[in-house]
A and B are shown apart, each in its own frame.
Chain A
């Protein structure tokens, strides 16, 4: 391949961001397990602190293992730059801290991970960042929610827990008209299944804890800057457009152009709020990322088999998986996730709440825990766990009513996953 060829997805997943180490020649990315980096001299230190030179200062702000992970995800998502964080929630905190001032509003699509619903309803309220809820299945509800105070629109590409696919193109048009960025949580899809920037997203956020790491061993989050949004047009994003006091009055958007958002998230958000990723976790997630497309193919292949089986099971009242023909989101899935609709979905039990509790305790091989996106198959009954803080009405609105069980299908043999579910369903009656 020549210098001028553009590498394809699987090549980027292995190579992007990772040239061999300049001093040792190490081919795998080394774990730079250090808090800090020596300066070459006083002027070099001043240049780094003044953002005049690229380079490492302190692992709360950047680390060479972390930067390999960042460039790789930026490349896979088609963004200009990225920033890794300690967790998906840490990434969300930094995005909102960069874009909102006290008193501002944002619109979030209701079909979200329960933890994000909590973060928005309660913790973000303390900063006076005010969520206005809308409905992914009624796009006009998003348009109606826009006010002068709206600073961003937030949704998931494939929504947790219901596995439904969001109409990113339609929502991005609304965001464009309103002059606000569209922020898409792409955790459930991963860039292998969906690349939101291609559909108009301005910022992509990830919990790397899930399919990207993929092995259930490391927490991590990621913010990807599409480089597409004009932060200075109306002065509505002062952190980016106005002189920055903690950098001698520098204007970040003017100075950093298409990577200004990612830079602001790092040199203000991460620097001051502190949720940095550990080098060890960055390494483990890089390792996972290298097999992303292989794993996602098998995840999707197994999931369609399990979903088809459950949809014919007598104890099951419904299955919500956009990969199933006949599912109400199947058309959107074909448009936005042509390689597969992911590996997280929900189904309803005729036996309701009680049956849900029994099924999660009746499985032998599938793990009962609060995570998704592992090589292992995982199961949870949201209304007794992740979504228990919500009212029954809120649970139903989030696709996590009392009869709902969520599965995250792993990479075991599909026949064994099905056999385990059949056993638990039979016992639940």
Chain B
């Protein structure tokens, strides 16, 4: 498919379908973008399993860190890649082997060949985007920082889990 732009329907369906995300390149450093994204996605009801060989065996945000995708004992719906575009190639192949349904490459990360392989294997692919930002755009939170979500809606925003300052994209999670 064309990866120059993604429709709202496409991104929404991915963020609605996935529950468990393996985050490759997750950092324990609280000011790194990957830490921000992991913390945010957990708050939105996803389980995020960190993957980082340097941190293997430690915990980040209460989740055990694994050295590789292979080591994760749970089923993974989506692999979120916080590594460079070249590394994203091998990681995409691992995600296919793992049976993941989605490969998501972060802002600045693009590997069109790997994307083709993943799509041929039936996976959905997003490149050069951040799931935190995309979630924020769909829920309405993006505008709280003056961000242009590129969408309009006459439907009421949905509060998340009884909190005043958290909006959801509509899926019930526990």
Contact = CB atoms under 8 A, between A and B. Distances in A.
Contact of A70 (B146, B156, B166, B167): B146
B152 to A, nearest CB: 4
Given A17-B143, A62-B144, A266-B146, A254 B33 contact: yes
Contact of B146 (A2, A39, A40, A82): A82
Contacts of A3: 7-9, 12, 151
Contacts of A44: 163, 165
A134 B164 CA distance: 51
B143 A70 contact: yes
B3 interface: no
B163 A250 contact: no
Contacts of B9: 2-4
B136 interface: yes
A80 B167 CA distance: 21
B145 A263 contact: yes
Interface stretch (A20-28, A97-105, A394-402, A420-428): A20-28
Contact of A56 (B144, B152, B159, B167): B144
A58 interface: no
B162 to A, nearest CB: 9
Contacts of A22: 140, 156-159, 167
A15 interface: yes
B142 interface: yes
B58 to A, nearest CB: 20
B85 to A, nearest CB: 15
Given A250-B31, A257-B107, A83 B146 contact: yes
B22 to A, nearest CB: 20
B144 A55 contact: yes
Contacts, number: 134
Interface in B129-143: 130, 136, 140-143
A84 B145 CA distance: 11
B146 A4 contact: no
Contacts of A23: 159, 164
A30 to B, nearest CB: 13
Interface residues of B, number: 41
Contact of A37 (B36, B130, B147, B165): B165
B46 interface: no
Nearest to B138: A3
Which residue among B40, B141, B148 has the maximum number of chain A CB atoms within 10 Å of its CB? B148
Contacts of B158: 22
A68 B157 CA distance: 13
Contacts of B173: none
A71 B7 contact: no
Contacts of B16: none
Contacts of B111: none
Nearest to A38: B164
Instruction: Give the most central of B31, B140, B142, B150: most A CB within 10 Å.
Output: B31
The CB with the most chain A CB atoms within 10 A, among B108, B144, B164, B166, is that of B144
Given A3-B7, A62-B144, A81-B146, A16 B152 contact: yes
A56 B146 contact: no
B154 A67 contact: no
Contacts of B165: 37, 39-40, 44, 48, 53, 55-56
Given A3-B7, A4-B8, A25-B156, A68 B143 contact: yes
Contacts of B35: 52
A112 interface: no
Contact of A62 (B33, B136, B140, B145): B145
B174 interface: no
3 pairs of A and B residues whose beta carbons are closest in the complex:
A70-B146, A22-B157, A74-B148
Interface of A: 2-4, 6-7, 11-12, 15-23, 25, 27, 37-40, 44, 47-48, 50-56, 62, 64, 67-68, 70-71, 74-75, 79-84, 247-250, 254-255, 257, 259, 262-263, 266
30 contacts: A3-B151, A4-B7, A4-B8, A7-B152, A12-B152, A15-B153, A18-B152, A20-B154, A21-B157, A22-B156, A22-B158, A23-B159, A39-B165, A40-B166, A48-B165, A52-B39, A53-B166, A55-B141, A55-B144, A56-B144, A56-B165, A74-B148, A75-B148, A81-B145, A81-B147, A84-B146, A254-B33, A262-B146, A262-B147, A263-B145
